[in-house]
Amino acid sequence: MKARVTAHGAYTVADIDKRLYGSFLEHLGRAVYTGIYEPGHPTADASGMRGDVLDLVRALDTPICRYPGGNFVSAYNWEDGIGPKESRPKRLDLAWRTTESNQVGIHEFADWAEKANTQMMLAVNLGSRGLDEARAFVEYVNHKGGTYWSDLRAKNGRKEPWNCRLWCLGNEMDGPWQVGHKSAAEYGHLANETAKALRGLDPTLELVVCGSSHSNMPTYPQWEATVLEETYDQVDHISLHMYFENYEKNPNEYLALPMKLDNYIGTVSGIIDYVKAKKRSKRQVTISFDEWNVWYHERKADAERMRTWDWPEAPVLLEDQYNFEDVLQVGCILNTFIRRADVVKIACIAQLVNVIAPIMTEPGGAAWRQTIYWPFLFASKHGRGTAMQLAVEVPTYDADAAAGVPWLDIAGVRDDDAGTLTFFAINRNGAEPMEVDLALDGFAAKTVEHTLIKHTDLEARNSKTNPDNVAPQKGNGAKLGGKGLHLTLPPHSYSMIRVGL
């Protein structure tokens, strides 16, 4: 199978917002407790944060981390997580049918975020609560002092404000499963009034309004139109979520799903343009894709377990063990975001540790990288700069998710500061290698490096005892020649090609 790709110096999509490589932590399962926080662990610091996990998170260089939810936030009282730990109440979490100890709250998370070299993306509860609690939370976090909430923050050990810039106005409020679920009109009105109040505190905040939980929702895409018509002048981003499943174990169908993602982004981008034109607005709302990942390995079984268990604390829940096939999928998802960098400015992999996550931990023991850690790391490290508009000629196939799925999925990034071009390439074809001629028009290539992730078994996983079963290796499939380079991509493979200029 052959493909031809052309990268031209004059044709670009947009500068990539580094927050495209954001992450997410929710009070769910073991994401927080025995995930990032485990007092008494051999690597734990004085505040109980696991040093081994911090090392793995810092290596990912994820610029933002969304917190504290997720479904959890829609019945969360943020005040439960402040003050002396011995005085904090235990609460029943309705979202995941567990008991929340509140031993980690805003102070602990903010301290962890600073150690992890990431910025906070905080969410307010617009499910069971509303405007006043959101206003108090922002004041507690951001006001310099001299008021009830800011002085209480100082009393609790933090005199200087954290100055969090990015705030989510609730979570998945279109979902009937959500505590405090609302219609689009109800939510749009509440979100708009909350946004106005928060802008009264600080007009420079970035605010994210809830879009559809996924593109199969019966209210999609009318939800986006209704909510944006109500909130457009007050918000900066609209939130979208999508998870990727392969219950049928069909690689071609599974790897076609990013085409559905691309259509989802395109549709909502069109709605943004429509509302902007209707309002004659000069503001440009963009997309925050703040929940995405592969999620199906443990989902159905854990849904059954949750119905019967008796409100446990930090149980094993939704701990998908990712395989090599998921590397290919995550690579295609990230490529989609890069190619849509003109409208997708924020994205958060869900989640960061233990719960559908690239990092796994054992209580009291080891931490290791799941298979999907690697494509996320490569994109975060080398996918910054300017997204290139590539011309791609390649055979296609038809799937249930979309027609005309290209066998080669590729995205390119130009980093002028580093003097590099980076291409992320996935061969969707499991039967044939892909011969790729990559023309570099307007570029003078001097060096090329090929990093490959490949395994003979699509089901191959990493584990505590075999943490490098699926890991990057040096590839030999890229060679400079003529006005570009020639690549050989093995069947079902992920490649990163770095060109020095």
Query: Do 309 and 333 contact (CB within 8 A), yes or no?
Result: no
Residue 13 is which amino acid?
V
Q: Among 38, 224, 291, 319, which one carries the catalytic annotation? A: 291
Number of helices (H), then strands (E), in the chain: 11, 26
Class of residue 482 by CB neighbours under 10 A (exposed 0-12, middle 13-18, buried 19+): exposed
Tell me the two tokens of residue 255: 């790897």
Query: Do 21 and 381 contact (CB within 8 A), yes or no?
Result: no
Class of residue 67 by CB neighbours under 10 A (exposed 0-12, middle 13-18, buried 19+): buried
Residue 30 is which amino acid?
R
Give the closest residue to 372 by CA, choosing from 256, 293, 261, 490.
293
CA quadruple 179, 183, 189, 195: dihedral, nearest 10: 40
The sign of the torsion formed by the CA atoms of 23, 28, 29, 30 equals positive
Q: Among 79, 139, 172, 230, which one carries the catalytic annotation? A: 172
Query: Do 83 and 104 contact (CB within 8 A), yes or no?
Result: no
Q: Is-catalytic flag, 172? A: yes
Give the closest residue to 290 by CA, choosing from 29, 26, 105.
26
Return the DSSP state at 90. Answer: P
Q: Over the range 151-164, which residues count as b (16 or more CB within 10 Å of their CB) and which as e?
A: eebeeeebeebbeb
Q: Over the range 27-60, which residues count as b (16 or more CB within 10 Å of their CB) and which as e?
A: bbbbbbbbbbbbeebeebeeebbbebbbebbeeb
Query: Do 326 and 426 contact (CB within 8 A), yes or no?
Result: no
Task: Quickly list DSSP for 229-271.
Answer: HHHTTT-SEEEEEEEE--TT--HHHHTTHHHHHHHHHHHHHHH
| Cα 346 versus chain centre, distance | 8
Task: Quickly list DSSP for 364-399.
Answer: TS-EEE-TTHHHHHHHHHH--SEEE--EEE--EE--
Tell me the two tokens of residue 18: 């580094």
How many whole angstroms separate alpha carbon 93 and alpha carbon 34? Answer: 18
Quick one: three-class SS letters along 272-330?
A: HHHHHHHCCCCCCCEEEEEEEEECCCCHHHHHHHHHHCCCCECCCCCCCCCEHHHHHHH
Q: Is-catalytic flag, 229? A: no
Tell me the two tokens of residue 36: 């990032």
Which of the residues are catalytic? 172, 291
